[in-house]
Structure 1
Amino acid sequence: MASVIGTLASIGMAIGPPLVYADQAYSIVKKRDSSGFSHDVCGVVLVANIIRIYFWLGNRFETPLLIQSLLLILAHLFLLSLCLHYAPSPNESHVQVGSRHKSWYRPYGLWQWEGYGSYLEFLAGLILFLAVLQVILGRWLWYIDSLGFIALTIESTLPIPQFISNFQRKSTYGLRASTLAGWFFGDSFKTIYFFLRHSPIQFKITAIMTVCWDTAVFAQRVMYGTEPPRGGSGEIGHMGDELESNRLALEPES
């Protein structure tokens, strides 16, 4: 019985996190609008899991976690393409705040590019750079351990871009409840899993950090609600209807 439970837990660990984003992707396609979901989240997941795979080359952690990384990379490459394809235009005021069109300064416009190819080039460069380092330093335990800490520290910041976006817009509009629930319950399960399976300490520490940020984003949902940000397209449309009604009321009857 214990082995069956362990197998099911491993399967859930491998495929659960990638499936969390299925509803988010469906929502973006359905609304034809990716505003509200920070595409920086995709960047965090992609970079963290690419580094984690190199960590696996030097420290063979459990296979379900490796499969999870591979599936997350595929899922977020697809989700990133949706975010860019359905990104609102800069003149849509309800997404200017907190979107990729208006953000804090980043060197070389990091992860704020327009074309999908630029993101793929960046990731390809990262993979090549890590491959070179692996050949040179892969024999040293301190380097492998450093990769683990770097990968998992980056992963622990996953909710932070969404937290910042929500704070700037004072709304959690566009962030699916299923995604948030998947983050919180998935990361909680992952934290317990790491402790029960005696995973490397890097996994345990960063999992706890991630749960804390998940809780912060959940608190934002309670505080801000899910209505579009003030000045959003819905609000502009409502104001337009009012202006039209006032204009008609002022026109003399024929």
Structure 2
Amino acid sequence: MTVLGTLAGIGMAVGPPLIYADQAYSIVKKKDSSGFSHDVCGVLLIANIIRVFFWLGNRFETPLLIQSLLLIVSQLILLAICLHYKPTATDSSEDATNYAPLSPLPSSPNPQSHSREDSDYLSQPPTANSNNRGSGGLKGLCVGGKRPFEFWQWEGYGSYLEFLAALILTLGVLQIILGRWMWYIDALGFIALSIESTLPIPQFIANYKRKSCYGFRSSTLAGWFFGDAFKTVYFFVRRSPIQFKATAILTLCWDSAVLAQRVMYGANPPREGINQYSSNPIQQEEEERGLRADGEERQFSLQ
């Protein structure tokens, strides 16, 4: 029984971070992260940072703490990969040399399109004017469109690091002030695990908008479903805090929803003729019709 418990603990610690290894490899291989919602990285980073502070007041099992630390590291790497290979709104699927303008160089004559070698992750993102290119813009790549303060829609990797550093600093101050009260510690646990329970939702929305699961690895989905099923059983057998049990069940329900999408939509690319980065295909069709009319008018004037 001790051996099984040890193996289960090792699986809980290293299993979830390894789920995303194949997803990262696939993005690097295809040089395209458009099918994977990088909001998933945000959910895991925020939830596990809060969970670490929850551990300071309620010393749950060490494998779960190690799991949180490994997930933080793995998601920072995956987030950098997603941003690096995020295509621009004007990119065609055949053009694999242009990526999202994480931080175009000031001397660049065309900041809207440049190769990834010119990117500096830690630089400031470009101005708002360079972000709104075309009707779809980069907003079409993000779940939920425009957000207050463009939350988790920043283009510079440094902006994400600054936010996470501010979150850690805030939680550290609150831990010093309120860490002696158990109600605060319990609230941290519920907040951390409630956020983590929403993990499949950004991917669910992205799949629904594109009517396709293209770019989202089946291995990641299998890891979510079977991993969360294993965690649910583990939490009940090991009598983990109620926060872990309740949120594990909720996460498993959302995993089932994404699994249903995989069966319905399949893994084929989105339908041709509809820009996968545009949230309004009708508006895109009208613009294309207008461009054709402009071209005909110019041709007539030349004659």
TM-score under structure 2 normalisation? 0.74
User: If each structure's helix is expressed as a fraction of its own residues, which one has the higher value?
Assistant: 1
Corresponding residue number in structure 2 for 1:37: 36
- How far residue 99 of structure 1 moved from its aligned partner, in angstroms, is 1.4
What is the percent sequence identity of the aligned residues? 73
Corresponding residue number in structure 2 for 1:131: 172
Corresponding residue number in structure 2 for 1:170: 211
Is the Cα–Cα contact under 8 Å of residues 61 and 199 in structure 1 kept in the other structure? Answer: yes
- Output the CA distance in 2 between the equivalents of 1:139 and 1:232: 59
- Output the CA distance in 1 between the equivalents of 2:163 and 2:80: 14
Q: 2:145 aligns with which of 80, 96, 104?
A: 104
Secondary structure of 1:82's aligned partner: helix
* Structure 1: gaps of 5 or more residues: 236-254
Corresponding residue number in structure 2 for 1:189: 230
Corresponding residue number in structure 1 for 2:81: 82
- Output the CA distance in 2 between the equivalents of 1:195 and 1:93: 48
Is the Cα–Cα contact under 8 Å of residues 97 and 168 in structure 1 kept in the other structure? Answer: no
Letter in 1 for 2:169: L
- Output the CA distance in 2 between the equivalents of 1:68 and 1:233: 40
RMSD: 1.8
- How far residue 105 of structure 1 moved from its aligned partner, in angstroms, is 2.5
- Output the CA distance in 2 between the equivalents of 1:144 and 1:4: 32
Corresponding residue number in structure 2 for 1:157: 198
Secondary structure of 1:20's aligned partner: helix
Residues 43-69 of structure 1, C-alpha deviation per residue, up to 9 Å, x if partnerless? Answer: 000000000000000000000000000
- How far residue 231 of structure 1 moved from its aligned partner, in angstroms, is 3.5
Q: Is 2:200 the partner of 1:201?
A: no
- Output the CA distance in 2 between the equivalents of 1:114 and 1:231: 27
Q: Which has the higher contact order (CA 8 A, sep 6+)?
A: 1
Letter in 2 for 1:196: V
Aligned pairs (5 A) from 1:42-121 = 42-92=41-91, 99-100=141-142, 103-121=144-162
Aligned pairs (5 A) from 1:7-22 = 7-22=6-21
Is the Cα–Cα contact under 8 Å of residues 52 and 152 in structure 1 kept in the other structure? Answer: yes
Say if 1:97 and 1:81 are closer, same or farther in 2 by CA, change over 3 A: same
- How far residue 104 of structure 1 moved from its aligned partner, in angstroms, is 2.1
Moved more, 87-96 or 62-71: 87-96
Say if 1:168 and 1:69 are closer, same or farther in 2 by CA, change over 3 A: same
- Output the CA distance in 1 between the equivalents of 2:253 and 2:273: 30
- How far residue 229 of structure 1 moved from its aligned partner, in angstroms, is 1.0
Letter in 2 for 1:226: A
Q: Is 2:288 the partner of 1:228?
A: no
* Structure 2: gaps of 5 or more residues: 94-135, 277-303
- Output the CA distance in 1 between the equivalents of 2:53 and 2:248: 19
Letter in 1 for 2:165: A
Regions of 4+ moved over 6 Å: 93-97, 232-235
Is the Cα–Cα contact under 8 Å of residues 197 and 251 in structure 2 kept in the other structure? Answer: yes
Secondary structure of 1:223's aligned partner: helix
- Output the CA distance in 1 between the equivalents of 2:49 and 2:151: 17
TM-score under structure 1 normalisation? 0.88
- Output the CA distance in 2 between the equivalents of 1:80 and 1:99: 14
Secondary structure of 2:141's aligned partner: coil
Letter in 2 for 1:77: L
- How far residue 92 of structure 1 moved from its aligned partner, in angstroms, is 3.3
- Output the CA distance in 2 between the equivalents of 1:70 and 1:98: 32
Equivalent residue pairs, number: 233
